[in-house]
Structure 1
Amino acid sequence: MTIEVRPIREEDIESFHAAVGVVARERTYLALLEAPPIERARSFVLRNIEKGYPQFVAIADREVVGWCNIPPASREVMAHVGDLFMGLLPQWRGQGLGERLLRESLAAADAFGYLRIELGVFAGNTRAAALYRKAGFIEEGVKRRAILIDGVFHDEVIMARLRD
């Protein structure tokens, strides 16, 4: 099956929302328990499209099976910083798709003009951390007990990639 990696489109919103929900409900990879309400997801995606913020999706059989988005940090003094979020549906992991999504998204982020891209990854998600290191991210620290899901604390590793 051919996988297309491309910028998100308005017609992808519902499928993107569903994919986020699947990964969130795993309670292992995202600091979410479920996808945000569909209208919030719709507003987020439409804003990304309108502003040209990097947001790529992996499409298989017309459905979103993975995503990587890099919106700007929320404060004006951090306009040069992008916050990276990504995920893949379980059956698509371990096949190089995350690396493709990340590579395309980082190229778009560089073209957009970000000088710093940062992310947080669960300390136990060593595969994702290794992927980020391979893409030039460096560990900057650990937020101990930063995430609490179902009574279990998770440390969050903070990583960043700087561009000159």
Structure 2
Amino acid sequence: MRAPDRPTFDDETSKEIYQYVERHGTAARHRVRDAASVSAERFQEHLDDLKTKGYLEEDGGTIRVPLDAGSIEEYTTDDLTYTVRPARHTDFEAVVDAIRDVTATETYVVAETVAEQLLYDDTISRHTTVESRMFFVATVDAEVVGWTHLDLPHVEKLRDTAQLTVGVRPDYRGQGIGTRLLSRGLDWAEANGYRKVYNSVPATNDVALAFLGEHGWNTEGIRKNHYTIDDELVDEVMMAYEF
């Protein structure tokens, strides 16, 4: 679903706890407790109330604003079995590694930016009044081998569009994993009322451009000499998928 409507609070302490977590995307329980300026007993009461109302959720000492991302799906090919599921906080390092594995062999500037943003935020999930972030991952034997990511602005004039990135580690391509990940992201966006997703790819990334084109994406425009890659000026191809 879309990020929940702005919650209402019975007191300032509950509001303070929620806003601390919202600003950080996810937060360690002890850091939220330290920021709350109340006793441990009172903190637990307020946290329990926020969790009961569905405003916050907790997993192993990590507190976050929940976004409903759906279920775990399993697929089998002739060569392997893999799952596609919502990313978890524990996937953080594996997702960054997967993105870096992909961008080490092909130029995917937007994905590189996503990896840097993850490292800056130090969390997979992100939900504030300005934007949210959604990740799905593909795993083989618990190893993250691919991802799809949706950047979801909450600014009113942009609420119907989302940026999508998708990638699969080179060793796991040719198994349909990228198609499943792309479909999962598109299905989520359509089900939650988005009318368009978009992505931008350097004109030299033939693999990404062919993949998106084969799945119904259209070129909306080209920005000449937008990137500097290996000291060469490269065009940016702006692509989109409309529901």
| TM-score, length-scaled by structure 1 | 0.83
What is the Cα deviation at residue 38 of structure 1? Answer: 5.7
Q: Deviations over 1:102-139 (max 9, x none)?
A: 01111011112211111112223333223222332211
Q: Residues 58-109 of structure 1, C-alpha deviation per residue, up to 9 Å, x if partnerless?
A: 1112121111111124744111110011222111223321111101111011
- Alignment match, 2:150: 70
Aligned equivalent of 1:13: 92
Cα 1:20–1:127 shift into 2, 3 Å: closer
RMSD over equivalenced CA pairs, Å: 2.5
Report the CA distance shift for 1:74/1:154 in structure 2 as closer, same or farther (over 3 A): farther
Separation in 2, partners of 1:159, 1:25:
22
Map 1:129-144 to 2 at 5 A.
129-144=209-224
| Alignment partners' CA distance in 2, 1:9 and 1:87 | 17
The residue type equivalent to 2:193 in the other structure is G
- Equivalent in the alignment of 2:186: 106
SS at match of 1:132: helix
Match of 2:55 in 1: none
Query: Structure 2: which amino acid aligns with 1:17?
Result: V
Question: Can you give the 5+ residue segments of structure 2 that lack an aligned partner in the other structure?
Answer: 1-79
Separation of aligned partners in 2, 1:38 and 1:104 = 21
SS at match of 1:95: coil
Q: For 1:1-164, what aligned pairs fall within 5 Å after superposition?
A: 1-26=80-105, 28-31=107-110, 32=112, 35-36=115-116, 39-40=119-120, 42-43=122-123, 45-47=124-126, 53-73=133-153, 75-163=155-243
SS of the residue aligned with 1:36? helix
Distance 1:69 1:29 in 2: 14
Give the number of aligned pairs. Answer: 160
Q: Distance in 1 between matches of 2:103 and 2:208?
A: 16
| Cα 1:28–1:62 shift into 2, 3 Å | same
> Larger relative contact order (C-alpha < 8 A, sep ≥ 6)?
1
Please, which moves more after superposition, 128-137 or 109-118? 128-137
In the alignment, the residues of structure 2 paired with residue 122 and residue 30 of structure 1 have an alpha-carbon distance, to the nearest angstrom, of 7
How big is the shift at 1:34?
A: 9.6
Say which one has the larger Rg.
2
- What are the ranges of 5 or more consecutive residues in structure 1 without an aligned counterpart? none
8 Å contact from structure 1 (residues 68, 84) kept in 2:
yes
